[in-house]
Amino acid sequence: MLRPLSPYPALIIDEGEKALVISDLHLGWEASLSERGIHVPSQTNKLLRKLEKILVLEEPDQLIVLGDVKHTIEKIEIEEWRDVPIFFERVLERVKRVRVVPGNHDGNIEVLLPNRVEVTSPYGIIFGGVGLFHGHTWPDVKILECETLVIGHIHPAITFRDPAGFTITSQVWVKAPCDKLALMKVMLKRHKIKLKAGEDLEKTFMERFMLEPKVRNLIMMPPFNDVLGGRAINRAPTLKEEVFRDFIGPVLRSGGVMLNKAEIYLLDGTFVGFLDKLTELSGC
Ligand SMILES: [Mn+2]
């Protein structure tokens, strides 16, 4: 069973064993800003308090962090040397198992994490039948066996303008239906397997990978670090931008995720509408 833990940007997967899933902590984000003369108070303690509250409330058996623990991509800032280990030491006082699925910001993350924190493959893990990966790269082909995939990375938000000219921006959950066959096709191509004329896609796939894909939905999580704001996924210009297309990662670019038919939910669980409708209302 999978449920968003409204109003928090967190998910619970409960299969007898219970996991709490969060994504995109971006610890040390403030430090990279202060280098450029912009000063934002450290968010680490605030994020820690928010997480501790959830851990006390839900008592999960494990915590899964879906990537982007820290903010800088290659190097490590002094603040990250300080904040990341302390953050995880404190978390380990409340939950016995912590796993990190590395994201694109998590180069050298192992050296910052206490030994008890497990760093998984960046190509994703499966828990309770749910496929979990950060989203900047293709997951392992095994992940396609899950009906539901969950990613972070995108920091999804929607923005719309009311008639008085106010712009409203909200972080959101996105639940998009997937085109299983399209994902299978791209996966075969990635493994340099060519379909011969008349060859059945599903049959070839199953023979090559010895597994049966069941993907139906992809959920994009809002970032746990809410000071980061987000990317307005309902603005038509955003969707067309080269930078955005680069950023969203190969899975979303593959055509295997039907973004226009995606359901959008606010953090409190309100269903806002489908993405194609919200794109019309974005004011651009
Ligand atoms: Mn990322």
pLDDT (tens digit, 9 = 90+) per residue, 33-55?
Answer: 777 788 877 889 999 999 999 99
- Establish if 65 belongs to a structural domain: yes
- Whole-number pLDDT of residue 173: 97
CA of 109 to the centre of ligand 1 (A): 14
Assigned domain for 267 exists: yes
* pLDDT on residue 149: 98
- Decide: helix, strand or coil at residue 73: coil
Residue 42 lies in a domain: yes
| 265 within a domain of the structure (yes/no) | yes
pTM over 0.85: yes
pLDDT of amino acid 37: 83
Whichever domain contains 145, its CATH number is 3.60.21
**Ligand 1 centre from 237 Cα, in Å?**
21
Is 284 inside any structural domain? no
Number of domains present in the structure of the chain = 1
Q: Which residues surround ligand 1, an ion (CB under 5 A)?
A: 68, 103-104, 153
In a domain, residue 237? The reply is no
Name the residue range of residue 11's domain. Answer: 2-156+173-178+215-225+257-274
- The stretches in the chain having pLDDT less than 70 are 282-284
pLDDT at 247: 83
Examine residue 68 and state whether it is found in any structural domain, yes or no: yes
- Distance CA(249)–CA(254), nearest Å, equals 9
Per-residue confidence (pLDDT) for residue 224, from 0 to 100: 97
Rounded to the nearest angstrom, the distance between the alpha carbon of 219 and the centre of ligand 1 is 15
Condensed to tens digits (0 to 9), the pLDDT of residues 227-256 reads 887 888 888 777 778 887 888 888 988 889
Q: For residue 229, what pLDDT is reported? A: 73
Q: Is residue 165 situated within a structural domain?
A: no
